[in-house]
Chains A and B, each alone.
Chain A
Protein backbone atom coordinates (compact mmCIF):
# COMPACT_ATOMS: atom_id res chain seq x y z
CA UNK A 1 0.00 0.00 0.00
CA UNK A 2 2.87 2.34 0.87
CA UNK A 3 4.58 1.27 -2.32
CA UNK A 4 1.65 2.42 -4.46
CA UNK A 5 1.42 5.81 -2.71
CA UNK A 6 5.16 6.33 -2.95
CA UNK A 7 5.15 5.47 -6.63
CA UNK A 8 2.40 8.01 -7.31
CA UNK A 9 4.04 10.67 -5.13
CA UNK A 10 7.29 10.22 -7.00
CA UNK A 11 5.64 10.54 -10.39
CA UNK A 12 3.70 13.64 -9.41
CA UNK A 13 6.71 15.33 -7.88
CA UNK A 14 8.97 14.57 -10.85
CA UNK A 15 6.24 15.63 -13.27
CA UNK A 16 6.72 19.21 -12.04
CA UNK A 17 10.19 19.23 -13.54
CA UNK A 18 8.88 18.06 -16.89
CA UNK A 19 6.68 21.12 -17.33
CA UNK A 20 7.84 24.68 -17.92
CA UNK A 21 5.37 26.11 -15.40
CA UNK A 22 7.40 24.85 -12.46
CA UNK A 23 10.53 26.59 -13.68
CA UNK A 24 8.65 29.82 -14.31
CA UNK A 25 7.16 29.70 -10.81
CA UNK A 26 10.55 28.94 -9.26
CA UNK A 27 12.23 31.79 -11.10
CA UNK A 28 9.59 34.42 -10.44
CA UNK A 29 9.41 33.40 -6.81
CA UNK A 30 13.14 33.66 -6.33
CA UNK A 31 13.32 37.01 -8.10
CA UNK A 32 10.57 38.43 -5.91
CA UNK A 33 11.86 37.05 -2.61
CA UNK A 34 15.34 38.13 -3.65
CA UNK A 35 14.15 41.66 -4.27
CA UNK A 36 12.30 41.74 -0.96
CA UNK A 37 15.44 40.51 0.73
CA UNK A 38 17.38 43.33 -0.90
CA UNK A 39 14.87 45.87 0.40
CA UNK A 40 15.10 44.33 3.86
CA UNK A 41 18.86 44.50 3.75
CA UNK A 42 18.72 48.17 2.75
CA UNK A 43 16.56 48.92 5.78
CA UNK A 44 18.72 46.84 8.11
CA UNK A 45 21.86 48.70 7.08
CA UNK A 46 20.25 52.15 6.72
CA UNK A 47 21.75 55.07 8.59
CA UNK A 48 19.86 57.62 10.55
CA UNK A 49 16.27 57.25 11.55
CA UNK A 50 15.32 54.85 8.74
CA UNK A 51 15.30 51.15 9.53
CA UNK A 52 13.09 48.29 10.51
CA UNK A 53 12.19 46.69 13.73
CA UNK A 54 10.94 43.47 12.17
CA UNK A 55 13.01 42.39 9.13
CA UNK A 56 10.67 39.47 8.34
CA UNK A 57 7.75 41.87 8.24
CA UNK A 58 9.32 43.74 5.37
CA UNK A 59 9.64 40.49 3.49
CA UNK A 60 6.32 38.77 4.16
CA UNK A 61 4.12 41.38 5.74
CA UNK A 62 2.49 43.27 2.89
CA UNK A 63 1.09 43.41 -0.65
CA UNK A 64 4.45 43.18 -2.36
CA UNK A 65 4.81 39.61 -1.27
CA UNK A 66 1.19 38.45 -1.16
CA UNK A 67 0.19 39.61 -4.61
CA UNK A 68 2.88 37.34 -6.01
CA UNK A 69 2.26 34.51 -3.56
CA UNK A 70 -1.39 34.53 -4.63
CA UNK A 71 -0.50 32.98 -8.00
CA UNK A 72 1.77 30.23 -6.77
CA UNK A 73 -0.55 27.63 -5.21
CA UNK A 74 -3.05 27.74 -8.13
CA UNK A 75 -0.23 27.26 -10.62
CA UNK A 76 1.12 24.31 -8.67
CA UNK A 77 -2.22 22.57 -8.19
CA UNK A 78 -4.16 23.30 -11.39
CA UNK A 79 -2.64 20.34 -13.23
CA UNK A 80 -2.99 17.72 -10.54
CA UNK A 81 -6.45 16.32 -11.19
CA UNK A 82 -7.88 18.49 -13.98
CA UNK A 83 -5.30 17.29 -16.48
CA UNK A 84 -5.85 13.65 -15.58
CA UNK A 85 -9.53 14.05 -16.24
CA UNK A 86 -8.93 15.95 -19.45
CA UNK A 87 -6.61 13.35 -20.97
CA UNK A 88 -8.47 10.38 -19.50
CA UNK A 89 -5.51 9.07 -17.52
CA UNK A 90 -7.67 9.33 -14.41
CA UNK A 91 -9.32 6.11 -15.61
CA UNK A 92 -5.95 4.34 -15.50
CA UNK A 93 -5.30 5.73 -12.03
CA UNK A 94 -8.70 4.93 -10.57
CA UNK A 95 -8.68 1.35 -11.84
CA UNK A 96 -5.31 0.65 -10.23
CA UNK A 97 -5.43 -1.14 -6.86
CA UNK A 98 -5.11 2.06 -4.85
CA UNK A 99 -7.67 3.83 -2.67
CA UNK A 100 -9.09 7.21 -3.63
CA UNK A 101 -7.71 8.87 -0.50
CA UNK A 102 -4.26 7.54 -1.32
CA UNK A 103 -4.48 9.16 -4.75
CA UNK A 104 -5.48 12.48 -3.20
CA UNK A 105 -2.91 12.34 -0.43
CA UNK A 106 -0.04 11.36 -2.73
CA UNK A 107 -0.84 14.16 -5.13
CA UNK A 108 -1.23 16.62 -2.27
CA UNK A 109 2.08 15.66 -0.67
CA UNK A 110 3.78 15.95 -4.06
CA UNK A 111 2.65 19.55 -4.52
CA UNK A 112 3.44 20.33 -0.89
CA UNK A 113 6.94 18.95 -1.42
CA UNK A 114 7.42 21.13 -4.48
CA UNK A 115 6.17 24.10 -2.49
CA UNK A 116 8.75 23.29 0.18
CA UNK A 117 11.41 23.13 -2.50
CA UNK A 118 10.36 26.60 -3.60
CA UNK A 119 11.23 27.96 -0.17
CA UNK A 120 14.44 26.02 0.21
CA UNK A 121 16.74 28.53 -1.56
CA UNK A 122 15.43 31.35 0.66
CA UNK A 123 17.19 29.69 3.59
CA UNK A 124 20.42 31.32 2.41
CA UNK A 125 19.00 34.68 3.55
CA UNK A 126 18.51 33.43 7.08
CA UNK A 127 22.07 34.01 8.42
CA UNK A 128 21.81 37.65 7.39
CA UNK A 129 18.24 38.13 8.58
CA UNK A 130 19.28 37.02 12.06
CA UNK A 131 22.70 38.67 11.76
CA UNK A 132 24.52 35.47 12.51
CA UNK A 133 27.92 35.76 14.14
CA UNK A 134 30.00 33.22 12.20
CA UNK A 135 32.56 32.94 15.00
CA UNK A 136 30.24 32.08 17.84
CA UNK A 137 27.30 30.80 15.78
CA UNK A 138 24.95 33.08 17.72
CA UNK A 139 22.23 35.21 16.21
CA UNK A 140 22.53 38.91 16.99
CA UNK A 141 18.94 39.61 15.96
CA UNK A 142 16.12 37.66 17.58
CA UNK A 143 15.82 34.49 15.43
CA UNK A 144 12.27 33.60 16.47
CA UNK A 145 10.52 35.79 13.89
CA UNK A 146 12.34 33.87 11.15
CA UNK A 147 11.32 30.51 12.55
CA UNK A 148 7.70 31.49 13.11
CA UNK A 149 7.55 33.04 9.65
CA UNK A 150 8.60 29.76 8.08
CA UNK A 151 6.04 27.89 10.18
CA UNK A 152 3.37 30.33 9.03
CA UNK A 153 4.41 30.10 5.41
CA UNK A 154 4.22 26.31 5.52
CA UNK A 155 0.80 26.36 7.18
CA UNK A 156 -0.72 28.96 4.89
CA UNK A 157 0.77 27.23 1.84
CA UNK A 158 -0.70 23.91 2.95
CA UNK A 159 -4.13 25.51 3.10
CA UNK A 160 -3.95 27.20 -0.31
CA UNK A 161 -2.61 24.04 -1.95
CA UNK A 162 -5.43 21.93 -0.52
CA UNK A 163 -7.91 24.48 -1.82
CA UNK A 164 -6.29 24.37 -5.24
CA UNK A 165 -6.29 20.57 -5.32
CA UNK A 166 -9.99 20.53 -4.52
CA UNK A 167 -10.79 22.99 -7.31
CA UNK A 168 -8.66 20.94 -9.68
CA UNK A 169 -10.77 17.88 -8.89
CA UNK A 170 -13.94 19.69 -9.96
CA UNK A 171 -13.08 20.81 -13.47
CA UNK A 172 -11.54 19.47 -16.65
CA UNK A 173 -9.60 22.53 -17.74
CA UNK A 174 -6.37 23.51 -16.04
CA UNK A 175 -6.96 27.15 -16.84
CA UNK A 176 -10.38 27.16 -15.19
CA UNK A 177 -8.93 25.34 -12.19
CA UNK A 178 -6.21 27.97 -11.83
CA UNK A 179 -8.61 30.89 -12.19
CA UNK A 180 -11.19 29.56 -9.76
CA UNK A 181 -8.65 28.77 -7.07
CA UNK A 182 -7.06 32.15 -7.69
CA UNK A 183 -10.35 33.91 -7.03
CA UNK A 184 -11.02 31.81 -3.92
CA UNK A 185 -7.55 32.45 -2.51
CA UNK A 186 -8.02 36.13 -3.30
CA UNK A 187 -10.83 36.22 -0.75
CA UNK A 188 -8.45 35.03 1.94
CA UNK A 189 -5.67 37.36 0.91
CA UNK A 190 -7.22 40.61 -0.22
CA UNK A 191 -9.15 41.06 3.01
CA UNK A 192 -5.81 41.89 4.57
CA UNK A 193 -5.24 44.82 2.22
CA UNK A 194 -8.53 46.42 3.05
CA UNK A 195 -7.88 48.58 6.07
CA UNK A 196 -11.05 50.31 7.03
CA UNK A 197 -11.22 52.67 9.98
CA UNK A 198 -12.42 50.09 12.41
CA UNK A 199 -12.13 49.77 16.12
CA UNK A 200 -9.70 46.89 16.52
CA UNK A 201 -11.93 45.45 19.25
CA UNK A 202 -15.02 45.36 17.03
CA UNK A 203 -16.45 42.09 15.78
CA UNK A 204 -15.99 42.98 12.09
CA UNK A 205 -12.34 43.64 12.60
CA UNK A 206 -11.87 40.41 14.50
CA UNK A 207 -13.61 38.52 11.72
CA UNK A 208 -11.46 40.06 8.98
CA UNK A 209 -8.39 39.43 11.02
CA UNK A 210 -9.34 35.81 11.44
CA UNK A 211 -9.60 35.17 7.69
CA UNK A 212 -7.01 37.42 6.15
CA UNK A 213 -3.76 35.59 5.80
CA UNK A 214 -1.49 38.63 5.19
CA UNK A 215 -2.66 40.06 8.51
CA UNK A 216 -1.66 36.86 10.27
CA UNK A 217 1.80 37.44 8.95
CA UNK A 218 2.17 41.16 9.50
CA UNK A 219 0.83 40.94 13.05
CA UNK A 220 1.95 37.55 14.33
CA UNK A 221 4.24 35.28 12.40
CA UNK A 222 6.76 37.89 11.25
CA UNK A 223 6.98 39.26 14.76
CA UNK A 224 7.91 35.95 16.30
CA UNK A 225 4.46 35.13 17.62
CA UNK A 226 2.47 32.03 16.94
CA UNK A 227 -1.24 32.59 17.23
CA UNK A 228 -2.82 29.16 17.44
CA UNK A 229 -6.05 30.52 15.91
CA UNK A 230 -4.20 30.98 12.64
CA UNK A 231 -2.63 27.55 12.67
CA UNK A 232 -5.96 25.97 13.59
CA UNK A 233 -7.56 27.75 10.64
CA UNK A 234 -4.88 26.46 8.27
CA UNK A 235 -5.02 22.92 9.59
CA UNK A 236 -8.80 22.62 9.56
CA UNK A 237 -9.15 24.23 6.14
CA UNK A 238 -6.48 21.87 4.77
CA UNK A 239 -8.21 18.79 6.15
CA UNK A 240 -11.59 20.05 5.01
CA UNK A 241 -10.48 20.62 1.42
CA UNK A 242 -8.65 17.29 1.26
CA UNK A 243 -11.78 15.57 2.52
CA UNK A 244 -13.85 17.34 -0.16
CA UNK A 245 -11.33 16.31 -2.81
CA UNK A 246 -11.62 12.64 -1.86
CA UNK A 247 -15.41 12.92 -1.97
CA UNK A 248 -15.32 14.72 -5.28
CA UNK A 249 -13.12 12.02 -6.77
CA UNK A 250 -15.35 9.29 -5.39
CA UNK A 251 -18.46 10.91 -6.80
CA UNK A 252 -17.00 10.57 -10.31
CA UNK A 253 -17.68 6.88 -10.09
CA UNK A 254 -21.35 7.44 -9.49
CA UNK A 255 -22.00 9.89 -12.29
Chain B
Protein backbone atom coordinates (compact mmCIF):
# COMPACT_ATOMS: atom_id res chain seq x y z
CA UNK B 1 0.00 0.00 0.00
CA UNK B 2 2.83 2.34 0.91
CA UNK B 3 5.94 1.80 -1.12
CA UNK B 4 9.06 3.85 -0.40
CA UNK B 5 12.16 3.56 -2.50
CA UNK B 6 15.52 5.20 -1.80
CA UNK B 7 14.08 8.31 -0.25
CA UNK B 8 16.64 11.01 0.61
CA UNK B 9 15.98 14.49 1.90
CA UNK B 10 18.60 17.16 2.37
CA UNK B 11 17.98 20.35 4.34
CA UNK B 12 20.87 22.39 2.98
CA UNK B 13 23.92 20.18 3.62
CA UNK B 14 22.24 18.18 6.32
CA UNK B 15 20.71 14.88 5.30
CA UNK B 16 17.58 14.34 7.35
CA UNK B 17 16.98 10.95 5.80
CA UNK B 18 19.18 8.92 3.50
CA UNK B 19 18.18 6.14 1.18
CA UNK B 20 15.12 5.10 3.14
CA UNK B 21 13.23 2.17 1.62
CA UNK B 22 10.38 0.15 3.01
CA UNK B 23 7.03 -1.36 2.18
CA UNK B 24 3.83 -1.32 4.12
CA UNK B 25 1.51 -4.07 2.91
CA UNK B 26 -2.22 -3.50 2.77
CA UNK B 27 -4.10 -3.91 6.01
CA UNK B 28 -1.12 -3.79 8.36
CA UNK B 29 -0.34 -1.44 11.22
CA UNK B 30 3.30 -0.48 11.14
CA UNK B 31 5.15 1.25 13.95
CA UNK B 32 7.71 3.78 12.84
CA UNK B 33 10.32 4.00 15.57
CA UNK B 34 13.46 5.96 16.16
CA UNK B 35 15.10 8.44 18.48
CA UNK B 36 14.28 12.14 18.23
CA UNK B 37 15.64 13.67 15.05
CA UNK B 38 16.01 10.33 13.34
CA UNK B 39 13.92 11.47 10.40
CA UNK B 40 10.53 9.98 11.23
CA UNK B 41 8.59 13.20 10.77
CA UNK B 42 10.51 14.10 7.62
CA UNK B 43 9.65 10.75 6.04
CA UNK B 44 6.01 11.11 7.01
CA UNK B 45 5.85 14.64 5.70
CA UNK B 46 7.20 13.48 2.35
CA UNK B 47 4.60 10.72 2.22
CA UNK B 48 1.84 13.16 3.07
CA UNK B 49 3.05 15.54 0.34
CA UNK B 50 4.12 18.43 2.56
CA UNK B 51 7.78 18.10 1.62
CA UNK B 52 9.40 16.97 -1.60
CA UNK B 53 12.19 14.40 -1.42
CA UNK B 54 15.62 15.30 -2.78
CA UNK B 55 15.85 11.88 -4.47
CA UNK B 56 13.94 8.65 -4.37
CA UNK B 57 10.28 7.94 -4.77
CA UNK B 58 7.24 7.00 -2.74
CA UNK B 59 3.89 5.70 -3.85
CA UNK B 60 0.59 5.41 -2.02
CA UNK B 61 -1.72 2.78 -3.46
CA UNK B 62 0.25 3.00 -6.69
CA UNK B 63 0.12 6.80 -6.96
CA UNK B 64 3.45 8.60 -6.81
CA UNK B 65 3.37 11.34 -4.17
CA UNK B 66 5.40 13.66 -6.41
CA UNK B 67 3.96 13.02 -9.86
CA UNK B 68 0.39 12.40 -8.83
CA UNK B 69 0.09 14.39 -5.62
CA UNK B 70 -3.66 14.92 -5.51
CA UNK B 71 -4.52 11.27 -6.09
CA UNK B 72 -1.95 10.21 -3.50
CA UNK B 73 -3.14 12.76 -0.92
CA UNK B 74 -6.73 11.74 -1.45
CA UNK B 75 -5.80 8.28 -0.20
CA UNK B 76 -4.05 9.49 2.96
CA UNK B 77 -5.41 10.60 6.27
CA UNK B 78 -2.55 12.52 7.82
CA UNK B 79 -2.18 13.59 11.43
CA UNK B 80 0.86 15.88 11.76
CA UNK B 81 2.99 16.11 14.85
CA UNK B 82 1.47 18.50 17.44
CA UNK B 83 -1.72 18.55 15.38
CA UNK B 84 -1.99 22.21 14.29
CA UNK B 85 -5.60 23.47 14.13
CA UNK B 86 -7.40 26.80 13.75
CA UNK B 87 -8.16 27.90 17.34
CA UNK B 88 -10.92 30.32 16.33
CA UNK B 89 -13.11 27.65 14.73
CA UNK B 90 -15.58 25.29 16.35
CA UNK B 91 -14.97 21.55 16.19
CA UNK B 92 -17.87 20.71 13.92
CA UNK B 93 -17.31 23.77 11.74
CA UNK B 94 -13.65 22.81 11.34
CA UNK B 95 -14.51 19.26 10.33
CA UNK B 96 -17.03 20.52 7.75
CA UNK B 97 -14.38 22.86 6.37
CA UNK B 98 -11.87 20.01 6.11
CA UNK B 99 -14.49 17.74 4.51
CA UNK B 100 -15.11 20.38 1.86
CA UNK B 101 -11.38 20.80 1.35
CA UNK B 102 -11.12 17.07 0.75
CA UNK B 103 -13.80 17.34 -1.93
CA UNK B 104 -16.66 15.62 -0.08
CA UNK B 105 -20.18 16.56 -1.15
CA UNK B 106 -22.62 18.06 1.36
CA UNK B 107 -24.37 14.76 1.97
CA UNK B 108 -21.09 12.89 2.33
CA UNK B 109 -19.76 15.57 4.65
CA UNK B 110 -22.72 15.22 6.94
CA UNK B 111 -22.35 11.47 7.32
CA UNK B 112 -18.56 11.52 7.58
CA UNK B 113 -18.42 14.40 10.07
CA UNK B 114 -21.04 12.63 12.17
CA UNK B 115 -19.02 9.44 11.96
CA UNK B 116 -15.80 11.23 12.93
CA UNK B 117 -17.41 13.02 15.87
CA UNK B 118 -18.74 9.76 17.21
CA UNK B 119 -15.72 7.61 16.47
CA UNK B 120 -13.32 10.00 18.18
CA UNK B 121 -15.59 10.77 21.16
CA UNK B 122 -16.09 14.39 20.16
CA UNK B 123 -19.88 14.65 20.25
CA UNK B 124 -19.88 16.51 23.59
CA UNK B 125 -17.51 19.21 22.37
CA UNK B 126 -18.72 19.62 18.78
CA UNK B 127 -19.84 23.23 19.42
CA UNK B 128 -16.70 24.23 21.35
CA UNK B 129 -13.97 26.48 20.04
CA UNK B 130 -10.90 24.45 19.20
CA UNK B 131 -8.75 26.97 21.06
CA UNK B 132 -10.45 26.06 24.33
CA UNK B 133 -9.92 22.31 23.96
CA UNK B 134 -7.34 20.31 25.87
CA UNK B 135 -4.45 18.64 24.07
CA UNK B 136 -6.21 15.29 24.15
CA UNK B 137 -9.33 16.64 22.49
CA UNK B 138 -7.33 18.48 19.85
CA UNK B 139 -5.56 15.25 19.00
CA UNK B 140 -8.96 13.63 18.57
CA UNK B 141 -10.08 16.44 16.27
CA UNK B 142 -6.96 15.82 14.19
CA UNK B 143 -7.74 12.13 14.09
CA UNK B 144 -11.37 12.76 13.13
CA UNK B 145 -10.07 15.00 10.34
CA UNK B 146 -7.72 12.26 9.12
CA UNK B 147 -10.66 9.83 8.95
CA UNK B 148 -12.99 12.23 7.09
CA UNK B 149 -12.48 11.07 3.53
CA UNK B 150 -12.32 7.43 4.65
CA UNK B 151 -8.80 7.05 3.23
CA UNK B 152 -7.24 3.60 2.86
CA UNK B 153 -3.97 4.83 4.40
CA UNK B 154 -3.49 6.61 7.71
CA UNK B 155 -0.23 8.34 8.55
CA UNK B 156 -0.15 9.32 12.19
CA UNK B 157 2.80 11.25 13.56
CA UNK B 158 2.98 10.63 17.30
CA UNK B 159 -0.76 10.30 17.87
CA UNK B 160 -0.35 9.73 21.62
CA UNK B 161 2.22 12.42 22.43
CA UNK B 162 1.11 14.71 25.22
CA UNK B 163 -1.92 12.70 26.24
CA UNK B 164 -2.73 11.44 29.71
CA UNK B 165 -2.69 7.67 30.40
CA UNK B 166 -6.44 7.25 29.99
CA UNK B 167 -6.43 9.09 26.68
CA UNK B 168 -3.43 7.09 25.49
CA UNK B 169 -5.38 3.93 26.19
CA UNK B 170 -8.41 5.19 24.29
CA UNK B 171 -6.31 6.28 21.34
CA UNK B 172 -4.50 2.94 21.21
CA UNK B 173 -7.78 1.12 21.25
CA UNK B 174 -9.06 3.31 18.44
CA UNK B 175 -5.94 2.73 16.36
CA UNK B 176 -6.20 -1.01 16.84
CA UNK B 177 -9.81 -0.91 15.69
CA UNK B 178 -8.97 1.27 12.71
CA UNK B 179 -6.26 -1.22 11.77
CA UNK B 180 -8.97 -3.58 10.57
CA UNK B 181 -9.98 -1.31 7.70
CA UNK B 182 -6.98 0.91 7.14
CA UNK B 183 -3.30 0.57 6.46
CA UNK B 184 -1.60 2.55 9.20
CA UNK B 185 1.88 3.95 9.55
CA UNK B 186 2.35 5.45 12.98
CA UNK B 187 5.36 6.95 14.65
CA UNK B 188 5.97 6.89 18.35
CA UNK B 189 8.54 6.83 21.11
CA UNK B 190 6.58 4.57 23.34
CA UNK B 191 7.70 0.99 22.74
CA UNK B 192 5.00 -0.84 24.69
CA UNK B 193 2.53 1.01 22.51
CA UNK B 194 4.08 -0.54 19.44
CA UNK B 195 3.91 -3.98 20.99
CA UNK B 196 0.23 -3.47 21.68
CA UNK B 197 -0.95 -1.93 18.44
CA UNK B 198 1.39 -2.81 15.59
CA UNK B 199 1.95 -5.79 13.35
CA UNK B 200 5.49 -4.85 12.40
CA UNK B 201 8.10 -2.19 13.06
CA UNK B 202 10.47 -0.05 11.06
CA UNK B 203 13.30 1.34 13.12
CA UNK B 204 14.98 4.40 11.73
CA UNK B 205 18.24 5.74 13.08
CA UNK B 206 20.30 8.70 11.89
CA UNK B 207 18.21 8.99 8.76
CA UNK B 208 18.54 5.36 7.70
CA UNK B 209 16.39 2.29 8.13
CA UNK B 210 18.20 0.30 10.82
CA UNK B 211 15.78 -2.54 11.27
CA UNK B 212 12.57 -3.70 9.74
CA UNK B 213 10.59 -6.81 10.56
CA UNK B 214 7.32 -8.07 11.95
CA UNK B 215 6.78 -8.11 15.68
CA UNK B 216 6.19 -11.85 15.55
CA UNK B 217 9.62 -12.36 14.02
CA UNK B 218 11.25 -10.21 16.67
CA UNK B 219 9.57 -12.19 19.41
CA UNK B 220 10.65 -15.44 17.83
CA UNK B 221 14.28 -14.51 17.24
CA UNK B 222 15.05 -12.52 20.31
CA UNK B 223 13.93 -15.13 22.84
CA UNK B 224 12.87 -12.99 25.70
CA UNK B 225 14.64 -9.85 24.57
CA UNK B 226 12.18 -7.06 24.37
CA UNK B 227 11.68 -4.46 21.70
CA UNK B 228 13.32 -2.06 24.07
CA UNK B 229 16.54 -4.11 24.09
CA UNK B 230 16.52 -4.10 20.31
CA UNK B 231 15.94 -0.36 20.19
CA UNK B 232 18.81 0.32 22.60
CA UNK B 233 21.06 -2.14 20.81
CA UNK B 234 20.52 -0.49 17.44
CA UNK B 235 20.56 3.13 18.45
CA UNK B 236 23.43 2.57 20.85
CA UNK B 237 21.86 4.65 23.59
CA UNK B 238 21.67 3.23 27.08
CA UNK B 239 18.57 4.12 29.02
| Partner-B contacts on A (CB < 8 A) | 1, 3-4, 6-8, 10-11, 15, 18-19, 87-89, 91-99, 253-255
Contact = CB atoms under 8 A, between A and B. Distances in A.
Interface residues of B, number: 31
Contacts of B99: 7
Interface in B188-224: none
Contacts of B78: 95
11 contacts: A3-B100, A15-B86, A18-B89, A88-B80, A88-B84, A92-B98, A95-B73, A95-B76, A96-B102, A97-B70, A97-B73
A161 B89 CA distance: 24
Nearest to B129: A18
Contact of B49 (A6, A11, A15, A95): A95
A11 B97 contact: yes
B102 A89 contact: no
B52 A254 contact: yes
B107 interface: no
A252 to B, nearest CB: 8
Nearest to B44: A95
Given A253-B51, A254-B52, A91 B84 contact: yes
- In the A-B complex, list the 5 residue pairs whose CB atoms are closest, starting with the nearest: A7-B100, A88-B84, A97-B73, A95-B48, A97-B74
Given A91-B45, A95-B73, A254-B52, A8 B101 contact: yes
Given A98-B101, A255-B11, A88 B50 contact: no
A115 B71 CA distance: 35
A65 B70 CA distance: 45
B85 interface: yes
Interface in B50-90: 50-52, 70-71, 73-74, 76, 78, 80, 82, 84-89
B103 A3 contact: yes
A91 B80 contact: yes
Contact of A96 (B11, B51, B88, B101): B101
A181 B62 CA distance: 43
Contact of A253 (B50, B70, B74, B98): B50
Interface of B: 11, 45, 48-52, 70-71, 73-74, 76, 78, 80, 82, 84-89, 97-105, 145
Nearest to B76: A95
Contacts of A11: 86, 89, 97
Nearest to A11: B97
A18 B88 CA distance: 7
Nearest to B82: A88
A254 B52 CA distance: 6
Contacts of B145: 92
Contacts of B85: 89, 92
Contacts of A6: 100
A4 B50 contact: no
A23 to B, nearest CB: 14
B47 to A, nearest CB: 9
Contacts of A91: 45, 50, 80, 84
B50 A96 contact: no
A95 B45 CA distance: 9
Given A10-B97, A91-B80, A99-B70, 12 more contacts: A6-B100, A7-B101, A8-B97, A11-B97, A87-B87, A88-B82, A92-B84, A93-B101, A94-B49, A95-B49, A253-B51, A254-B51
Given A96-B73, A97-B70, A15 B103 contact: no
A7 B104 CA distance: 10
Nearest to B48: A95
A1 B103 CA distance: 7
B75 to A, nearest CB: 9
A14 to B, nearest CB: 9
Given A89-B85, A96-B73, A97-B70, A253 B52 contact: yes
A4 B102 contact: yes
